[in-house]
Structure 1
Amino acid sequence: MALTPELALFAGLLVVAGAVAGLLAGLFGIGGGAVLVPVFYQIFGLAGVDDAVRMHLSVGTSLAIIIPTSLRSFAAHRRHGAVDMELLKRWVIAVPLGVILASLVAAGASSAELRIIFAAIALLLAIRMIFLRNRFQLGTDLPGEPVRFLVGTVIGLLSGLMGIGGGVMNNSFMTSYGRPIHQAVATSAGVGVLISLPGLIGYIIAGWGEPGLPPFSTGFINWIAVALIIPVTMVAAPLGARLAHALSKKQLEIGFGIFLVVVAIRFVWSLFE
């Protein structure tokens, strides 16, 4: 992994991606993993990382980076009393359980299978963001148990497989049951904490001793990428919160949905390269 002009260029792009991820965290209460995972996939490919672990490393590293962003965002929203702490308390087992299941799936899945999973979920999220914004109402309050527990587990599972903080999914869930978008965004920051912490541990264990990992990796976590991106996301997250009050969320959600479509197409295309 010697530094070359190409790697330096992509490292610069990675920093830009970290800034975008931080902005998204502030805007939508998400960890930005949907941006980071495809970028990491390209970076690790350029660095010569074995394709067998390339996607796993991208997802695991993304989850590690989400930790400080989610913690900072959660603390800020909690100070303002915007977080639904009751929902988070009920999900303190459900969401991590889903993430643990995701790490078990990732440990046995091939790189191609993980890319297919990422692409499929990304397309579903894109359809929701572009075509189904605020068009359905499932109820006036969140469902009770065991539905609520099951939803938390599914959010943890899908987010753990994609390397994302679960914000888009939780926002959709809460707003579909009559909760204000601001409360949904604030609570999503807490969901990101419940996903990223067990995700870090799960992907370290899942990738322990795997051949083909680059230097400074512990399991499926690459600490060079983590050290490079975290400072950028920490600075950008508060800026994203400010932008949320100045820009149209409709335009941003549609733009992000289009980005997810492009990423999904890229991953599907990579299966035939």
Structure 2
Amino acid sequence: MEGSWTELLPIAVAMLGTGLIGGIMAGLLGVGGGIVIVPVLFHILTGMGIDEDIRMHIAVGTSLATIILTSASSARSHFKRGSVDTALLKSWGVPIFIGVVIGSTISLFVEGQVLTIVFAVIALIVSANMTFRPDGWTVRDSLPTGFVRHVIGAGIGTFSTMMGIGGGTLTVPILTACNYPIRRAVGTASAIGLIIAIPGTAGFIWNGLDAANLPPFSFGFVSLIGFALIVPVSVLAAPLGARIAHAIPTGLLRKAFALFLFVTAIRMFYEVFS
């Protein structure tokens, strides 16, 4: 990244702050941090003048890379507390992996604006779900089995990869709508983040190896500078989020997070259509 130290300092501070918030959110809500990291990176890259055709790809790829360690830290904390459903992980592992491959492949052929729209649309849906869904509301008494369960897992893997998120943003609402206890849903989602982030990162690195106009210190569509600044803070913050999740009601925080998602989605739509 070119520029003076006075230009780089605000970017560095923004990325460190992103790591802190993303790590806490990863442990608290099982969202992998990507739902925070992607929009912040997107706006940082926009401010740096990075080509609009690749800025969302870099934001997504870098986010997935950071989620590897963040999810590992968060999942470890939840596993110690017995809130990770290992049976569900075994059931969903292959379908989610297939979804990641599909999402990575789609991302190779679509423009950055398409990824931005996908992120904004799903962020709006998740925001509405967090805001308006009554506490305790469920669609059914348990998660579907067989083919339907596999389709759900593949869908989570596909859209999470295209958004650069760890899967919790989609997994937690789906599981709780199927009468899953919230803390068990959050813990399981944090582990699912690993299944998504590892192959997803590899896909975005591979897809971006020959890309033009990448910022300095990029490895494919992964910004190594962004990774180096975000990861240490987010990994340290994730266990704090997990402890908070087991200590306080999270209803008010969900409403605040829903507002953040709503504002983020509107700003992304503005970037695309302005």
Is the Cα contact below 8 Å between 1:7 and 1:46 reproduced in 2?
Answer: no
Alignment of 1:147-158 (within 5 A): 147-158=148-159
Aligned mates of 2:272, 2:82 — CA distance in 1: 46
Tell me the equivalent position of 1:252: 253
Task: Provide Cα deviations, 1:167-226, integer angstroms capped at 9, x if missing partner.
Answer: 122111222222211111110111101110111111112212010111221211111110
Q: For residue 141 of structure 1, report the CA deviation from its aligned partner.
A: 2.0
Alignment of 1:10-89 (within 5 A): 10-89=11-90
Task: Provide Cα deviations, 1:62-90, integer angstroms capped at 9, x if missing partner.
Answer: 00000001111212222332211111001
The share of aligned pairs that are identical, in percent, is 41
Task: Provide Cα deviations, 1:219-241, integer angstroms capped at 9, x if missing partner.
Answer: 11111110111000011112212
SS of equivalent to 1:127:
helix
Is the Cα contact below 8 Å between 1:24 and 1:240 reproduced in 2?
Answer: yes
Q: For residue 26 of structure 1, report the CA deviation from its aligned partner.
A: 1.2
Displaced runs of 4 or more, over 3 A: 133-136, 245-248
SS of equivalent to 2:156:
helix
Tell me the equivalent position of 2:129: 128
Gap regions ≥5 residues in structure 1 = none
Aligned mates of 1:53, 1:99 — CA distance in 2: 19
Aligned mates of 1:21, 1:228 — CA distance in 2: 12
Aligned mates of 1:56, 1:85 — CA distance in 2: 32
Gap regions ≥5 residues in structure 2 = none
Tell me the equivalent position of 2:225: 224
Aligned mates of 2:142, 2:232 — CA distance in 1: 38
Aligned mates of 1:29, 1:97 — CA distance in 2: 21
TM (normalized to structure 2)? 0.95
Is the Cα contact below 8 Å between 2:38 and 2:59 reproduced in 1?
Answer: yes
Number of residue-to-residue matches in the alignment? 273
Q: For residue 133 of structure 1, report the CA deviation from its aligned partner.
A: 4.1
Aligned mates of 1:192, 1:263 — CA distance in 2: 22
Tell me the equivalent position of 1:2: 2
Q: For residue 22 of structure 1, report the CA deviation from its aligned partner.
A: 0.5
Matched, 1:186 2:198: no
Task: Provide Cα deviations, 1:89-127, integer angstroms capped at 9, x if missing partner.
Answer: 011111111111111111111121111111111100100
Task: Provide Cα deviations, 1:106-164, integer angstroms capped at 9, x if missing partner.
Answer: 11111211111111111001000111143632222221101111110001111111111
Aligned mates of 1:3, 1:244 — CA distance in 2: 40
Residue identity opposite 2:100 in structure 1? V
Aligned mates of 1:141, 1:217 — CA distance in 2: 43
Residue identity opposite 1:122 in structure 2? A
Aligned mates of 1:204, 1:56 — CA distance in 2: 10
Aligned mates of 1:155, 1:67 — CA distance in 2: 17
Task: Provide Cα deviations, 1:11-64, integer angstroms capped at 9, x if missing partner.
Answer: 202211110001101111121111111111122223332221101000010000
Aligned mates of 2:24, 2:73 — CA distance in 1: 13
Q: For residue 2 of structure 1, report the CA deviation from its aligned partner.
A: 2.0
Aligned mates of 2:169, 2:52 — CA distance in 1: 28
Aligned mates of 1:77, 1:242 — CA distance in 2: 9
Tell me the equivalent position of 2:208: 207
Residue identity opposite 2:45 in structure 1? F
Residue identity opposite 2:2 in structure 1? A
Residue identity opposite 1:221 in structure 2? V
Moved more, 33-42 or 247-256: 247-256
